Amino acid sequence: MDEFWALVEASADGARTPDERLAWLTDRLAARPAAEVVDFALRLDELRGPVDTWRLWGAATLLFDGFCSDDSFHYFQPWLIGLGREAYHRVVADPDALADLPQVRRLAGRPRGDWADDEWPDWECLDYVADEAYERITGAPESLDDAVSARGRELRSSPQPGDEAWAVSDLAELSRRYPRLAALFPLSGRGRGSVWETATP
């Protein structure tokens, strides 16, 4: 796990964009033994567990003004991991600590339509880094899943929160649970509807 964090954090050196970080990570992984690429995929999957919770889904809902679907939350998780070990553990311990992160604070008070692609709190493509690196090494496309299965594991493909479910569409409850985040991202109520219901137990 220490090596995983070292790679993820080193990818951010030099203020790389998310795409540049992905290219850097893929190149580094592709230069390693195939087994270490499988290790990387498994560590990423393991780190999803503590952030695949209703507690974090509610916090993400505030960031997305209520439009946090299954996919949005699934891609939010690797973005949070990509912020590094310290930020990750702070937010796992207290989801409202998202309000303290500079990557979140710079979004506050701005319409989501004004957020640059590199600023959005999602990093879907981190999920594909190990796949691409593994294919480069083995020459076999889409073979990482088989290698993961050989270790008796299966990678997460959608959110599966394991904590107590609650209605993340409850605006008053969101404000109560995440007071600092709600102050930065007051909900407009536009989220009510099918997308809210997707993320409501």
Lowest mean pLDDT among 30-34, 89-93, 166-170: 166-170
* Cβ atoms 53, 166 nearer than 8 A: no
Q: Is the pTM of this model over 0.75?
A: yes
Compute the distance between CA of residue 64 and CA of residue 171 in angstroms, rounded to an integer.
13
The kind and range of the H/E element at 63 are helix 54-63
Summarize pLDDT for 49-92 with one digit per residue, the tens: 999 999 999 999 999 987 799 999 999 999 999 999 999 999 99
Residues 170, 199, 175: CA angle, nearest 5 degrees: 30
- What are the backbone angles phi and psi of residue 86, rounded to the nearest 5°? -65, -50
| 128, pLDDT greater than 60 | yes
Average pLDDT value for the chain: 91
| 198, pLDDT greater than 70 | no
Rg of the chain, C-alpha, whole Å: 17
